[in-house]
Structure 1
């Protein structure tokens, strides 16, 4: 499977220790700035379909604003109830001042 890197956002638009939503090829993606790194996942919770960009970022975990379930933004893993299904996490690459994602 080949990687296809798509520009997602300017690096400066990704706040440190916070999350923003961006549109990339018709998908809403959450970008997380954590300890100088950027992580990316789908922006909708798999449980309540709330936007994760409206949630609370604590370290590498994003808390859904609707039912307080948490996902690990590095892997998309569901960390606690009421979540039963992971979210999709995407590889991120930084080139210069731009954030690229592999949505494949």
Structure 2
């Protein structure tokens, strides 16, 4: 069951190879669209010092924090590069029509 969605965010507005911030049920989520067409979503706060991950870059499956270069896997939230050591939460995401839907359950 879907418990949250990114209202007003259309898939057609998110270019491949980019990440954006959406607010889902009051929670900031970093949603990414990979160059090969997949969608992923993770918490939008770096566990190292609180930077907004969606202000960073998407490189393959990795989201790079713009503050100190920490990297997180867009699909699992796992830390890929220091300085963060604590992963972020990952969320299932899919597209219904042209709407991006993020499951917060």
Calculate the TM-score normalised by the size of structure 1.
Answer: 0.91
Aligned: 1:11 with 2:11? yes
Flag the structure with higher strand content. Answer: 1
- What residue is the counterpart of 2:97 in the other structure? 96
Aligned: 1:42 with 2:40? no
Tell me the number of residue pairs that the alignment of Structure 1 and Structure 2 aligns. Answer: 102
Checking the alignment, whether the CA contact within 8 Å between 1:14 and 1:31 is kept in structure 2 is: no
CA distance in 1, matches of 2:41, 2:11: 13
How far did 1:68 drift? 0.7
Structure 1 runs of 4+ off > 3 angstroms?
Answer: none
Please say which of residues 63-72 and 9-18 is displaced more in the overlay: 9-18
Q: Cα deviation per residue 1:7-65 (whole Å; 9 max; x = unaligned)?
A: 31211122210111111111111110101111111111011100011112111001111
| Structure 1 alignment gaps of length 5 or more | none
CA distance in 2, matches of 1:21, 1:61: 15
CA distance in 1, matches of 2:28, 2:58: 18
Calculate the TM-score normalised by the size of structure 2.
Answer: 0.90
Supply the RMSD in Å over aligned alpha carbons: 1.2
